[in-house]
Amino acid sequence: MPTRDTVLAAAQRLLTTDPTASMAQIATAAGVGRATVHRHFASREDLLHEIGVRSLDRWAATLDECEVAAVAASGDPARIRACLDEMLGQFVVDADELGIALTDPTVVNAPDLRERADALFADEVALYAAAQAAGVLRADVPARWLGHSVYGLLVAARDGLVAGDIARNDAQDLVRSTFLDGGAAR
């Protein structure tokens, strides 16, 4: 694995469990010197920005892999439910790997990352709206609320994993059942 990727992987793991970790601690976790970390990332903010980019790349890839736009356009309740199930499962995996990107102010407030996140969120919300129209999800709440609920569940899953309150093998099912049963059409 190239050094840049080694540093990023170590930073992602460490910052998810210790959001205040210093560049020196990240270097130690990566098994490299601090100068090596700074050779790739001039500042902690640059490192966090790259993690944010990678997080958004994963989010976009998940939406593409799940064919969210096509599934939403289909209106088929079975396809929509299967898509939601697959998407939520992948989101939990991504939140475990890139969890710092969910809540770090450097990541969530960067204008370029925020703009891209807003566009991805709109694509995701379109799926929730289609799920509501197809009778898969409850229609008595705004579709955007459903999107915010998923985000909250991902933060809860990340925090539960970090604290040891939930088993890694249970995280996907907990998020899926909480969202899909709690958000089921009434």
SS (H, E, C) 14-43: HHHHCCCCCHHHHHHHHCCCHHHHHHHCCC
* The pLDDT value given to residue 185: 80
Q: Indicate the number of domains in the chain.
A: 2
* Cα(67)–Cα(131) distance, integer angstroms: 14
Residue 36 shares a structural domain with residue 56? no
- Per-residue pLDDT band for 42 (boundaries 50, 70, 90) equals very high
Helix (H) / strand (E) containing 93: helix 77-98
* The pLDDT value given to residue 1: 57
Residue 5 shares a structural domain with residue 53? no
Residue 151 shares a structural domain with residue 82? yes
CATH number reported for the structural domain that contains residue 15 in this entry: 1.10.10
Residue 53 shares a structural domain with residue 37? no
Residue 79 shares a structural domain with residue 34? no
Residue 84 shares a structural domain with residue 165? yes
Residue 32 shares a structural domain with residue 97? no
The stretch 100-116 carries a mean pLDDT of: 93
pLDDT of 83 strictly over 60: yes
The stretch 110-127 carries a mean pLDDT of: 97
* The pLDDT value given to residue 96: 87
The stretch 5-22 carries a mean pLDDT of: 93
pLDDT of 177 strictly over 70: yes
- Per-residue pLDDT band for 31 (boundaries 50, 70, 90) equals very high
Residue 57 shares a structural domain with residue 91? yes
Residue 54 shares a structural domain with residue 101? yes
Residue 34 shares a structural domain with residue 111? no
152-172 pLDDT, tens per residue? Answer: 999 999 999 999 999 999 999
What pTM does this model have?
0.92
* Cα(30)–Cα(172) distance, integer angstroms: 28
* The pLDDT value given to residue 182: 87
Instruction: Give the range of the structural domain holding residue 135, as residue numbers without chain letter.
Output: 49-182
Residue 138 shares a structural domain with residue 116? yes
* The pLDDT value given to residue 75: 97
